[in-house]
Amino acid sequence: MKDIKKVNIMRVKGDGIWEEEDIVVREYPFTIYVNDKELITLLCSPDSLKELTLGFLYSEGLISSLSDVDQITIDEERGISYVYINRIDPFNEEFRGKRTITSGCGKGTVFYNVIDSFRSKKIEKPMYVPADKIKGLMKEFNENSKLFRETGGVHSCAMCNLDGIIIFKEDIGRHNALDKVLGHALLEGIDTKDKIILTSGRISSEMLIKTAKRQIPVIISRSAPTSLAIEIAQKLNITLIGFVRGEKMNIYANFPSVTF
Amino acid sequence: MKDIKKVNIMRVKGDGIWEEEDIVVREYPFTIYVNDKELITLLCSPDSLKELTLGFLYSEGLISSLSDVDQITIDEERGISYVYINRIDPFNEEFRGKRTITSGCGKGTVFYNVIDSFRSKKIEKPMYVPADKIKGLMKEFNENSKLFRETGGVHSCAMCNLDGIIIFKEDIGRHNALDKVLGHALLEGIDTKDKIILTSGRISSEMLIKTAKRQIPVIISRSAPTSLAIEIAQKLNITLIGFVRGEKMNIYANFPSVTF
């Protein structure tokens, strides 16, 4: 299914008014069933649905590796993902009891408890990133975002190393875009411990937590972080960089990891 | 509690690097207890918490008027809202069974079922809005957003009539900002049927649904709508206008309600 949809709009420019065809971003309800029970409905862009399913389940702590998944079937037409996992029962009280809705553009996680994040594992292996590389990666990242230029309605997320972008995904939700990237890495068996996450969106606590769960040492955004994201990054030794625009950037956590 | 927090950052500009104090937007975990049970944790900006609580409960369908609320107590220090309602049990299966996570910057609603939205009540009384008024309201709206100018990390939402802005709220999440506005209207007994919603953020299905539930006939954004938001607006006779910037705007639904 296409990520975009054609609609007829009335365009107004000064005193001019005319009807014309425009392109908007598609918002697609996507329901995940786990072991034959409905877990959640995500509102997303209708691509990389297998990656989104896996990334979401991992971020929520329902799986910790591909081997936890026995089967995954996507029904794109009906917007449903049927997953069979052999690890934990997502419907037990442990998960029912943890419902958090995030502030983040993207989505709230239903089961996550923010306070838990401070107990997450610290980054063991630091990664040093030259400031010039960061500027170059963000430039490459911005040039990749075709859907945003078309619709102005999506967020981009990428996983990269110092040589460039390895995975690039777009979604109406920035949390979905990150889960798609993380799900893709899981599918392809890509080691995340020496990678960098780039996002177009604001970095809230949940973006940080998803990154920390994969032991990714660096997260970079072209926009702002929140106070809680900075606190978690400092606590877990994650390098957090925001407002990377042209020759400028702000380093919010783990200063020494950026080299000049 | 302040909506912002001071942090020390490393600022990079070209070859210059220096440490300085910066202001970031505060992300505040806020847990709502209903009838002594934990309902949800929202990640939000720590102001208008009573309005947020009421707006959220209304948007989720847990209350339909102030009279459904027996008592509401905010513990700002601990980030908790204790609410006692006399209407429905939010923990029954009807709600447990409806978990949707939205794509929207702001939050996902845990209980909402998107498909239900197409069964929502249509707007009965159309509202006609002169295009020039829309440009003027957006100009006033943009000038109001102090916190955004300080941090670049928040969304604004306002309720207004043709004479100007009546309620203005900001939050790290655009859904929270809208719930704060709607909660304020509920507290003050403001009739929403002849009002306009202005938002800085993208209009996803949930923004539309929250607006529709209050029978608000017009929603206006300076950014993009999604396909699903447009479909719901068309179905419910809600005027949906996006990309209002200077002399330009796009009308996506209910064209005749905008006058020239």
pLDDT in tens, A137-162: 999 999 988 777 777 788 999 999 99
Report CB contact under 8 Å: B224, A25: yes
Residue by residue, what is the 3-state secondary structure of chain A? CCCEEEEEEEEEECCEEEEEEEEEECCEEEEEEECCEEEEEEEECCCCHHHHHHHHHHHCCCCCCHHHEEEEEEECCCCEEEEEECCCCCCCHHHHCCCEECCCECCCCCCCCHHHHHHCCCCCCCCCEEHHHHHHHHHHHHHHCHHHHHHCCCEEEEEEECCEEEEEEEECCHHHHHHHHHHHHHHHCCCCCCCEEEECCCECHHHHHHHHHCCCCEEEECCCEEHHHHHHHHHHCCEEEEEEECCEEEEEECHHHEEC
Q: What pTM did the predictor assign? A: 0.90
Alpha-carbon distance A210 to A208, whole Å? Answer: 6
Query: What is the per-residue pLDDT for B88?
Result: 67
Task: Give the closest-approach CA distance of B107 to chain A in angstroms.
Answer: 5
Q: Above 0.90 for ipTM, yes or no?
A: no
**Catalytic (active site) residue B44:** no
Say if domain B28-116 classifies as CATH 3.10.20.10.
yes
Q: How many CB pairs under 8 A join A and B?
A: 235
Please work out, in degrees rounded to the nearest 5, the angle formed at the alpha carbon of residue B17 by the alpha carbons of B12 and B23.
60
Best residue in B27, B157, B255 for a mutation probing chain A (most A CBs within 10 Å): B27
Q: Taking 50 as the threshold, does the pLDDT of residue A109 lie above it? A: no
Measured between beta carbons, which residues in chain A are less than 8 angstroms from residue B9?
250-252
CA distance A216 to chain B (A): 21
Q: Do A100 and B40 touch (CB under 8 A)?
A: yes
B186: Cβ–Cβ under 8 A, 6 or more apart, which residues? B51, B54, B55, B58, B65, B66
A41 and B243 within 8 Å at the Cβ level: the answer is: no
Q: Which residues of B touch A39 (CB under 8 A)?
A: 99
Cβ count within 10 A of residue A113: 15
CA distance, residue A111 to nearest chain B CA (Å)? 10
* CATH 3.10.20.10 domain position(s) in chain B: 28-116
Mutation pick from B105, B147, B258 vs chain A, by most beta carbons of A within 10 Å, is B105
CB contact under 8 A, B226 and A202: no
Q: Taking CB atoms and an 8 Å limit, are B43 and A151 in contact across chains?
A: no
In this complex, which of B44, B102, B110 lies closest to A99 when CB atoms are compared? B110
Q: How confident is the model at residue B83 (pLDDT cuts 50, 70, 90)?
A: very high
What confidence score (pLDDT) does residue A229 get?
95
Chain B residue numbers with beta carbons less than 8 Å from the beta carbon of A7 are 227, 230, 252
Cα angle at B40 between A122 and B54, to 5 degrees? Answer: 135
With an 8 Å Cβ cutoff, are B228 and A22 in contact?
Answer: no
A120 or A185: which carries more pLDDT confidence? A185
Question: Quick one: pLDDT at residue A97?
Answer: 46
For domain A129-259, give its CATH number from 3.40.50.920, 3.40.50.12500, 3.30.420.40, 3.40.140.10. Answer: 3.40.140.10
Q: Give tens-digit pLDDT for A191-237.
A: 999 999 999 999 999 899 999 999 999 999 999 999 999 999 999 99
B27–A226 C-beta distance less than 8 A? yes
Average the pLDDT over each of A14-18, A249-253, B106-110 and give the range with the smallest value: B106-110
Residue A147 confidence (pLDDT): 73
Query: Mind telling me how many Å the CA of B224 is from chain A's nearest CA?
Result: 5
Query: What are the chain A neighbours of B152 within 8 Å (beta carbons)?
Result: 223-224, 243
Contact A13 B224 (CB under 8 A): no
Residues of chain B with CATH 3.40.140.10: 129-259
pLDDT digits (tens, 9 = 90+) for B100-115: 554 433 334 444 456 5
Average pLDDT over residues A52-70: 93
State how far residue A132 is from chain B, nearest Cα, in angstroms. 9
